[in-house]
């Protein structure tokens, strides 16, 4: 007789959202901030990007409870002009700092066409793509970058030099879902290494660099005795430097080793993460009808390209995530076991039972 247990039922998106918001409320966030913090986490899960979804919740709650991320933080503008602003995140949760930054960037781009906003002194920003999608849904283009504690080797280094420094962009599609890309400038996000090790799965030798500066397939070495490899070698390294410059250096924030670890440092310490946003108003730059026609033609051409053997079709960046999202809205999210375990841990931190 088989001892296999039936797979847990998918969790409705609305139920997961409400529960995550309640957890944030119990950690001290206002109702508005709890909603803003929960939205990108649940969106990531609904898109199937489980490494940057609600799996992160226990770490965020610990930071809030210990006030390393201030529950009552109020991000503010410290320097600005018509098309730019530098913000202090007031040691906010990263999603809260980013929400304020996106609001400022959209307002300035709406007024002058193009805007840069630098956000310093916030927390780990999670999925940069969630912020790019929010901008694109408003009819604007966004480029979003962030920096982090060094965990990624430089081309030719023995150890970590940069953070996994995400880069995301989102472009609006009239009448459709935004085209968007969200990548780490490492060969892989560190969360994917943790997840593979937790599940007992092997990892490719292209993911990590050991203490000699050589590739390794031993995921247990990360992060103490191995660093992430840069995406595409020197190319990813260069993009990682760009993300560091746009998010930390230009905004006057912490860089490289000045940034704390939101996972391993004492939870009461602020982490001094940073993010950078470049936003522009499509309607101010392009004729709306011409833009829609050109994008429609382009999308049809790409999606209509001949598929390689073993591939069902060619997709634009973001297509797969939107397909997964629509399925999640209709049928619920089938959360992996490691994510469910993290949600149980989160519930224990704020004394909140699981409703599923």
Q: Are residues 117 and 243 in the same domain?
A: yes
Task: Supply the pLDDT for residue 169.
Answer: 98
Mean pLDDT of 184-210: 91
The answer to whether residues 1 and 96 belong to one domain is no
Q: Do residue 93 and residue 239 come from a single domain?
A: yes
Q: Is the pLDDT of residue 1 over 50?
A: no
* Contacts (Cβ under 8 Å, ≥6 apart) of 154: 161, 162, 230, 237
Torsion of CA 231, 234, 236, 237, to 10 degrees: 110
Are 254 and 176 contained in the same domain?
A: yes
5-54 pLDDT, tens digit per residue, is: 778 999 999 999 999 999 999 999 999 999 999 999 999 999 999 999 99
Residues 131 and 3 in one domain: no
Residue range 248-258, pLDDT digits in tens: 999 999 999 99
Q: How many CB atoms lie within 10 A of CB 349?
A: 18
Contact between residue 104 and residue 94 where contact means Cβ atoms under 8 Å apart: no
Alpha-carbon dihedral angle through residues 25, 31, 37, 39, given to the nearest 10 degrees: 120
Residues in the chain: 356
Q: 8 lies in a domain? A: yes
Between 116 and 2, name the one with better pLDDT. Answer: 116
Do 270 and 165 have their domain in common?
yes
Q: Are 87 and 76 spatial neighbours (Cβ–Cβ below 8 Å)?
A: yes
Contact 115, 278 (CB under 8 A): yes
The answer to whether residue 307 is domain-embedded is no
- Is residue 209, in this structure, part of any structural domain at all? no
- CA-CA-CA-CA torsion for 33, 38, 44, 48, nearest 10 degrees? -170
- Residue 140 pLDDT > 60, yes or no? yes
Average pLDDT estimate for 177-188: 96
Q: Are 125 and 246 part of one and the same domain?
A: yes
Percentage of residues in the chain having pLDDT higher than 70: 99
Per-residue pLDDT averaged across 210-221, rounded?
95
Position 191 scores a pLDDT of 79
Is residue 281 one of the residues assigned to a domain?
Answer: yes
CATH number of the CATH domain containing 44:
1.10.1530.10
pLDDT in tens, 270-301: 999 999 999 999 999 999 999 999 999 999 99
Last residue in a domain, options 260, 285, 310: 285
The answer to whether position 28 is within a domain reads: yes
Decide if 310 is inside a domain: no
If asked whether residues 278 and 326 sit together in one domain, one would say no
128 and 244 fall within a common domain? yes
Q: What stretches of the chain adopt beta strand conformation (E)?
A: 76-81, 84-92, 114-122, 140-146, 152-153, 160-162, 167-171, 179-183, 208-210, 215-216, 226-228, 273-281
105 and 248 in a single domain? The answer is yes
Q: Are residues 6 and 145 in the same domain?
A: no
* Of 193, 292, 185, 306, nearest in space to 246 by CA: 185
Boundary-marking domain end, from 244, 266, 285: 285
* Structural domain contains residue 291: no
What proportion of the chain, given as a percentage, has pLDDT over 90?
Answer: 95
Q: Average pLDDT, whole number, for the chain?
A: 96
pLDDT band at 314 (very low <50, low <70, confident <90, very high): very high
What pLDDT does 6 receive? 75
Rg (CA), the chain: 20
Residue carrying the six token digits 């390393």: 68
**Cis before residue 329, ω within 30 degrees of 0?**
no
Q: Are residues 253 and 281 in the same domain?
A: yes
Beta pairing partners, 88: 76, 120
pTM value? 0.94
Mean pLDDT of 75-101: 98
Range of the domain at 174: 76-186+230-285
Number of domains the chain contains: 2
DSSP letter for each residue of 287-342: -HHHHHHHHHHHHHHHHTSPPPTT-S----TTHHHHHHHHHHHHH-B---HHHHHH
pLDDT at 4 over 80: no
The answer to whether 117 and 105 are in contact (CB under 8 A) is yes
Q: Is the pLDDT of residue 3 over 70?
A: no
* Residue 205 lies inside a defined structural domain of this protein: no
Does position 190 have pLDDT exceeding 90, yes or no? no
């Amino acid at each position: 007789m088989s001892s296999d247990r039936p797979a847990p039922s998918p969790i409705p998106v609305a139920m997961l959202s409400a529960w995550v918001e309640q957890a944030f409320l119990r950690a001290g966030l206002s109702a508005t901030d709890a909603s803003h913090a929960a939205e990108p986490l649940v969106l990531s899960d609904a898109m199937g990007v489980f490494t940057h979804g609600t799996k992160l919740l226990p770490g965020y709650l610990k930071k809030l409870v210990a006030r390393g991320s201030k529950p009552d933080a109020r991000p503010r503008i410290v320097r600005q002009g018509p098309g730019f602003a530098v913000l202090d995140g007031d040691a906010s949760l990263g999603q809260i700092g980013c929400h304020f930054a996106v609001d400022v960037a959209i307002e300035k781009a709406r007024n002058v066409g193009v805007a840069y906003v630098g956000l310093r002194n916030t927390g780990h920003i999670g999925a940069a793509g969630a912020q790019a999608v929010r901008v694109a849904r408003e009819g604007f283009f966004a480029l979003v970058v962030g920096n982090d504690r060094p965990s990624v080797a430089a081309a030719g280094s023995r150890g970590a030099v940069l953070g996994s420094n995400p880069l995301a962009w989102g472009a609006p599609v009239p009448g459709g879902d935004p085209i968007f890309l969200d990548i780490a400038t490492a060969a892989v996000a560190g969360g994917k290494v943790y997840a593979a090790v937790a599940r007992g799965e092997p990892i490719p030798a292209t993911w990590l660099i050991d203490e000699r500066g050589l590739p390794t397939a031993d995921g247990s070495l990360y992060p103490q005795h191995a660093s992430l490899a840069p995406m595409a070698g020197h190319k990813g390294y260069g993009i990682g430097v760009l993300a560091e410059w746009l998010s930390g250096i230009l905004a006057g924030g912490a860089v490289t080793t000045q940034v704390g670890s939101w996972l391993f440092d004492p939870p009461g310490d602020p982490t001094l993460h940073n993010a950078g946003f470049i936003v522009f108003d499509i309607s101010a730059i392009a004729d709306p009808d011409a833009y829609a026609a050109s994008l429609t033609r382009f999308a049809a051409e790409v999606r209509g390209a001949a598929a390689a053997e073993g591939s069902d079709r060619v997709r634009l960046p973001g297509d797969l995530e939107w397909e997964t999202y629509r399925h999640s809205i209709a049928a619920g999210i089938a959360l992996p076991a490691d994510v469910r375990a993290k949600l149980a841990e989160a519930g224990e931190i704020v004394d909140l039972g699981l409703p599923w």
